[in-house]
Amino acid sequence: MSGKVFLDTNLWVYLHGGDAKGQLVRSLVDLRFLDITISSQVLGELYQVLTRKKIMDVVSARDVIANLRGSFVVLPIQPDDCLRAVDISMMYGYSYWDSLIVVSALSSGCNTLFSEDMHHGQVIDKRLTILNPFVRSDS
């Protein structure tokens, strides 16, 4: 698999949580993909989850956000993205926030969106495939 990829917030949480799912996410980030895009929404959600669930303290969580900001392309949310997210939500049945993730992935030209929260294998706009990295390919 190649091309631009987008990782949903939950995968970044696992990556920094240190469990078995985090190891799988690390293998995705470290071994397969160099062209990862995230959005400012993901950075905000990640900080909120890391601190609310007490995965780390606020200073460490801030350092994670700063590191991601410096390591990957971070796409800002544009005003038109909000309306497009509503359209995606209506068309595919995702929540507004998941739809905004989809819009960010589409806007940045990603061909793969890794998410545990959306429909594995679904293709959006004939160009973005949603994959759940925890679904076994041999099942």
Specify the CATH number for the domain of residue 62.
3.40.50.1010
C-beta of residue 128 within 8 angstroms of C-beta of residue 99: no
Question: What is the average pLDDT score of the chain?
Answer: 89
Distance CA(66)–CA(52), nearest Å, equals 18
Q: What is the pLDDT of residues 45-98, one digit of tens each?
A: 999 999 999 999 999 999 999 999 998 889 999 999 999 999 999 999 999 999
Does the residue 114 lie in any domain?
Answer: yes
24 phi/psi in degrees, rounded to 5: -65, -45
φ and ψ at 55, to 5 degrees? -70, -35
Q: Is residue 136 part of a domain?
A: no
Domain membership of residue 77 as a residue range: 5-131
pTM: 0.88
Domain count, the chain: 1
Any domain includes 92: yes
